[in-house]
Amino acid sequence: MARAPDSKSGRWGFESLQACCSERISWTERDGFRGGVRIFRHLKKFIVEVEAEMKKVSWTTRKELVASTSVVVVATLLIALFIFIVDTPLSRLIGLILKYGV
């Protein structure tokens, strides 16, 4: 029966997974950093792209926002009320059990 290759025995069939070049290149050399000029071009491009994406966003109307917020507030209050109704009798029951050791 053949065994699957494992990394410890070196039978993977390919070379090391380390980086292909042995020289370390800093980000300033890689991006052609010259006194900050290029970084400002990247920043300007980023801001222009953000503005373009923000124009594509489908914003809700004030009426939709108020309606959605109302639903969330009412649901939160209903859940809080339910937890209060269930928790109060249970905490009193546990208190009686611990007090009298039933």
User: Could you tell me the two tokens for 18?
Assistant: 């380390």
Determine the Cα–Cα distance for residues 45 and 38; give it in Å rounded to an integer. 11
Residue 33: which residues within 8 A CB-CB, separation 6 or more?
27, 39
Residue ranges covered by each domain of the chain: 27-57, 59-102
Residue that has been written with the tokens 């503005």 in this structure: 51
Per-residue pLDDT of the chain (102 residues; tens, 9 = 90+): 555 555 555 555 555 555 555 566 565 555 555 556 778 888 999 999 999 999 999 989 999 999 999 999 999 999 999 999 999 999 999 999 998 876
pTM across the whole model: 0.46
